[in-house]
C-alpha cells in the first residue's frame, strides 16, 4: 500500500444554509501539497458518524410483495428522481428514529419490523462526506394503500408509491432518473425470497 497523504489544514471556501464547500490541504509523501475540494454539512469537513438514513421498506405479502419508492423533484439535478425514503439525522435521534420520522413525513407509512440496519457508509465519497445508515424494514401495504406525505410541502414535492416486482424491474431497466441506493434496493427486492 502506498504511503498515505497527511491532512494539514481544512478551510471553508463557501457556506450555504446546510452545506459548506471546504478546501482540504494534503501533504503528499514527497512533501508537495494538493488541495482537494469537498462538500459537507456545515461544520463537518468529514463525517465521523452517520448523518443520514435511507430506508428500504418492503411489504412481504405472499404472492404480492411491494417495495416503497418515492419520486421527488431534486433541485441539484433539476429533475424528478426515483429514490428511497431518506433524511437527515436530527440531534438526539438514532438512525431508526430518523427512519421512522422520515417515513411518516414523506409517506405516512409506519413500519411493522426492522429486518436489518447496516453500518453507516459513505453516500458519495468523491464529492462529499455524508454517511448514510441503510435500514431494511417491513410494512403492510394494505394498511397504507396510497402513501403520501403527511403535509403537502410545495418546497419538497414527493410522490410515494408501492412497486410490484414487475414495476420495480421496469424502473430498474428503463428509468435513468433513479438514485443509486434505490437501484440496489430493487436488486435486493427482486432477489429475496419472501
Write the pLDDT tens digit of every residue in 100-109. Answer: 999 999 999 9
Over the stretch 120-159, which tens digit does the pLDDT of each residue have? 988 887 777 788 999 999 999 999 999 988 877 777 789 9
Within 10 Å of residue 101's Cβ, how many Cβ atoms?
15
Q: Output b/e per residue, 16-39; b: 16+ Cβ within 10 A.
A: eeeebebebeeeeeeeeeeeeebb
Cell numbers at 95, concatenated: 438512525
pLDDT of residue 102: 94
Please say whether the beta carbons of 60 and 138 come within 8 A: yes
Q: pTM here?
A: 0.86
- Tell me: pLDDT of 32 over 80: yes
In whole angstroms, give the CA distance from residue 135 to residue 117. Answer: 4
Superfamily for 52-191? Answer: Nucleoside Triphosphate Pyrophosphohydrolase (3.90.79.10)
Please report, for the chain, the start and end positions of each structural domain, with discontinuous segments joined by +. Answer: 6-41, 52-191
Label residue 54 by pLDDT band (50, 70, 90): very high
In whole angstroms, give the CA distance from residue 56 to residue 181. Answer: 9
Amino acid at each position: 500500500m502506498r504511503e498515505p497523504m497527511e491532512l494539514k489544514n481544512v478551510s471553508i471556501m463557501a457556506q450555504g444554509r446546510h452545506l459548506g464547500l471546504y478546501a482540504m490541504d494534503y501533504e503528499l509523501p514527497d512533501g508537495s501539497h494538493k488541495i482537494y475540494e469537498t462538500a459537507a454539512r456545515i461544520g463537518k469537513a468529514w463525517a465521523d458518524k452517520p448523518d443520514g438514513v435511507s430506508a428500504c421498506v418492503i411489504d412481504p405479502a405472499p404472492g404480492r410483495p411491494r417495495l416503497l419508492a418515492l419520486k421527488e423533484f431534486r433541485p441539484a439535478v433539476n429533475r424528478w428522481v426515483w429514490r428511497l425514503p431518506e433524511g437527515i439525522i436530527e440531534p438526539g435521534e438514532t438512525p431508526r428514529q430518523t427512519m421512522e420520522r422520515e417515513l411518516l413525513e414523506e409517506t405516512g407509512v409506519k413500519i411493522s419490523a426492522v429486518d436489518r440496519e447496516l453500518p453507516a457508509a459513505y453516500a458519495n465519497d468523491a464529492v462529499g462526506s455524508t454517511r448514510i445508515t441503510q435500514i431494511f424494514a417491513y410494512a403492510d401495504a394494505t394498511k397504507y394503500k396510497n402513501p403520501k406525505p403527511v403535509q403537502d410541502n410545495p418546497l419538497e414535492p414527493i410522490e410515494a408509491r408501492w412497486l410490484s416486482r414487475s414495476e420495480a424491474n421496469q424502473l430498474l431497466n428503463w428509468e435513468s432518473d433513479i438514485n443509486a441506493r434505490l437501484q440496489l434496493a430493487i436488486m435486493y427486492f427482486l432477489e429475496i425470497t419472501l
